[in-house]
Amino acid sequence: MRPEILFPLFAPVTSLKGIGQRFATLVERAAGPRLVDLLWAKPVGVIDRRFSPKLKDALPGQIATLTVRVDQHFVPTSSRQPYRVRCSDETGHITLTFFRARGDYIEKILPLGEVRVISGKVESYGDQLQMSHPDHIAAEGEVELTVEPIYPLTAGLSLKIMRRAVQAAVARAPVLPEWQDPAFVARRQWPPWLDALETLHNPTTPEDLEPDRPARQRLAYDELLADQLALALVRAHNKRQPGRVVAGNGELRRKIIAGLPFELTGSQRRALDEIDADMAAPERMLRLLQGDVGSGKTVVALLALANAIETGAQGALMAPTEILARQHFATLERLAAPAGIRIALLTGRDKGKPRERILAGLADGTIQLAIGTHALFQDEVRFADLAVAVIDEQHKFGVEQRVQLASKGRGVDVLVMTATPIPRSLQLTSYGDLDASRLTEKPAGRQPIKTSVLPIERLDGVADAVGRALDRGSKVYWVCPLIEENETIDLAAAEERHAHLSERFGARAGLLHGRMKPTERDRVMEEFAKGSVDLLIATTVIEVGVDVPSATVMVIEHAERFGLAQLHQLRGRIGRGTGASTCLLLYAPPLGETGTERLKIMRETEDGFVIAEADLRLRGAGEVLGTRQSGMPEFRLADLAFDQELLAIAHDEARLVLARDPDLATPRGQSLRTLLYLFERDAAVKYLRSG
Ligand code: ADP
Ligand code: MG
């Protein structure tokens, strides 16, 4: 249960005084539905109102704070005209204009003959100075106008209302018990939590927005510690669960390996050794298998599964999407055939009799290996004896689900596979509860992908090149961009390109997008992999997992709109066979500095880790790519491009805390529980023995 002291912060935005229902809806849209969401709304800029010139020195285009006398009101004669108020100081005049304003209200805030302080953007109207709808109007000495925070807004929401909402939320924030080590806070000269929050939302200089300010550092560290503590709790919980000794006799493995048309790479063998050691140990395995696209994770996974199957137990492999599950099924069925492993596919699409047959097979153990989607989680899915679970592309699943799948057997060993090349520093956040094996070598025989960067004007030339590649028998991907998070627009772009390329390539051009029914999608993929479709125009649905080794060309339109990590994932769909591959990145000029740099990196390297580090660095340079896109963890206050040192400290601190106080029972432990609830890491709290 959430501690009572935090209740006010989780109240809805509508509970704020002075924010009516209409505005509350807008504030919710901009920041989130609860007060705590307002607290976490970091200012993204400031308006500096410290410039307060005499009128003769005021320049159009500037934000200025002016002290003026109200000289004359001009009441409009038609509703299309603005209400105008002429003001002056001893050096000049300015006209304030108000559209659709109530006259009595203007008269009240700008009484004739009085002196008022006004602040806003100075404009020119002919050779006259003008200011429309000043942001502030106050009597002298009533307010001190310095620097004001800017928040991300939404249509219809003014900064003024947003600021009022944030301030009201901050005012409701309670003093919370210190959860940090006081000595550490003192050494860093960090303020207490509430002070830090107030400072965050009341910058006095533009520099106060820098991430290295004590208040910002403090808040970022709080969030990181909550995250690391939660992960450490999950890890401790998992490690406490009894595991089992799983050590096969190697028989099935030998048969599978004998059937492979290639040798395992050194890193595949090393990863298997690590996995074997984990499975043979009486504790549960919780291991991350991280390897770039095409590095050969699937075979490693299958050999791990075979190890369990050799002991008479079962294995499961779970993929985030239907397409991927089917693909894994097809691959594994083929690879496992020499060993005679009985394997089944279970997805949400399986209904009726076939589904019952699969469920029965899993329950009585006749099915040794289950491949599936989320469907494997469902309650009706029972295993005779599940010993190992492999989870592909983990960032699409939560920590919770990992625990859920593992609970379907006795001491289930868990292997998580990911192709997201998360920099080592960030691995602490997404996978902080896992041990890691990395596949660093590419399988032998792979040729480097040649990547070129071209402006979109060269589209015709690109289509020619695609034509030549098709004539040589290549398969080609043509990726259309994610424009806004708007599927309809994306889809239209892909359809249009498909129509355009079909004119030239006829039925050899196919279309694949996320709005298609899964069956239809599979059919198109099938046609591309084996049939008559040679050019596949697709939205980013092909991002993960799709494996067509004969595809050797990829065109990516508007490459500048993709995140680096995403480009890397996409490009990983080619260069999987032994043929030389080419990637053409098309961009719409002009490219900014960061955009240029990003595409340059894509041209220069195929190393996912180098790309991930560059991604992080460039995002630090102000590019917001969206963490969801790149598979990076999301934080409200911490900025992982900047706060990596704090992350490492939080990681160590979390482990230290739990070593000393595993149940968070001490007074500081109690405060840390509050911290976990504050950042909504509630799930972790239930893993405390005395929740
Ligand atoms: P990942 O899942 O890591 O992206 P896959 O497991 O799909 O990569 O492997 C990509 C391709 O490489 C597959 O066609 C697979 O059969 C092949 N492959 C895997 N290991 C090796 C190896 N050691 N040598 C050559 N090819 C390999
Ligand atoms: Mg084990």
Q: Which regions of the chain are under pLDDT 70?
A: 394-405, 421-426, 430-432, 482-491, 541-546, 619-633, 689-691
Whole-number Å distance, alpha carbon 263 to ligand 2 midpoint, is: 27
pLDDT of residue 436: 86
The number of beta carbons lying within 10 Å of the beta carbon of residue 685 is 18
> Which residue bears the tokens 């406490």?
240
pLDDT of residue 17: 83
Q: In ligand 1, which atom is closest to the CA atom of 296?
A: 6
Counting ligands in written order, the one closest to the CA of 292 is 1
Phi, psi of 581 (to 5 degrees): -120, 155
Q: Is the CB of 393 under 6 A from ligand 1?
A: no
Q: Which of 264, 293, 299 to mutate to test the pocket of ligand 1 (most atoms within 8 A of CB)?
A: 299
pLDDT of residue 88: 96
Q: In ligand 1, which atom is closest to the CA atom of 292?
A: 3
Q: Give the chain's domains with CATH numbers.
A: 4-45+151-207 (no CATH), 50-145 (2.40.50.140), 251-439 (3.40.50.300), 449-605 (3.40.50.300)
CB 22 within 8 A of CB 28: no
pLDDT digits (tens, 9 = 90+) for 386-402: 999 999 875 566 666 66
Q: Is the CB of 569 under 6 A from ligand 1?
A: no
Q: Is the CB of 294 under 6 A from ligand 1?
A: yes
Q: Which of 270, 288, 295 to mutate to test the pocket of ligand 1 (most atoms within 8 A of CB)?
A: 295
Beta strands 475-479 and 535-538: pairing type? parallel
Q: Is the CB of 265 under 6 A from ligand 1?
A: yes
pTM of the predicted structure, to 2 decimals: 0.70
Q: Is the CB of 444 under 6 A from ligand 1?
A: yes
Q: Is the CB of 296 under 6 A from ligand 1?
A: yes
Angle between helix 214-240 and helix 399-406 axes, rounded to 10 deg: 0
Q: In ligand 1, which atom is closest to the CA atom of 293?
A: 4
CB 80 within 8 A of CB 103: no
Q: Is the CB of 389 under 6 A from ligand 1?
A: no
pLDDT digits (tens, 9 = 90+) for 567-610: 888 898 888 777 889 999 999 988 888 889 999 999 999 888 78
> Which residue bears the tokens 């499961």?
316
Residue 133 region, left (φ>0) first, then alpha (ψ -120 to 50), else beta? left
Whole-number Å distance, alpha carbon 410 to ligand 2 midpoint, is: 11
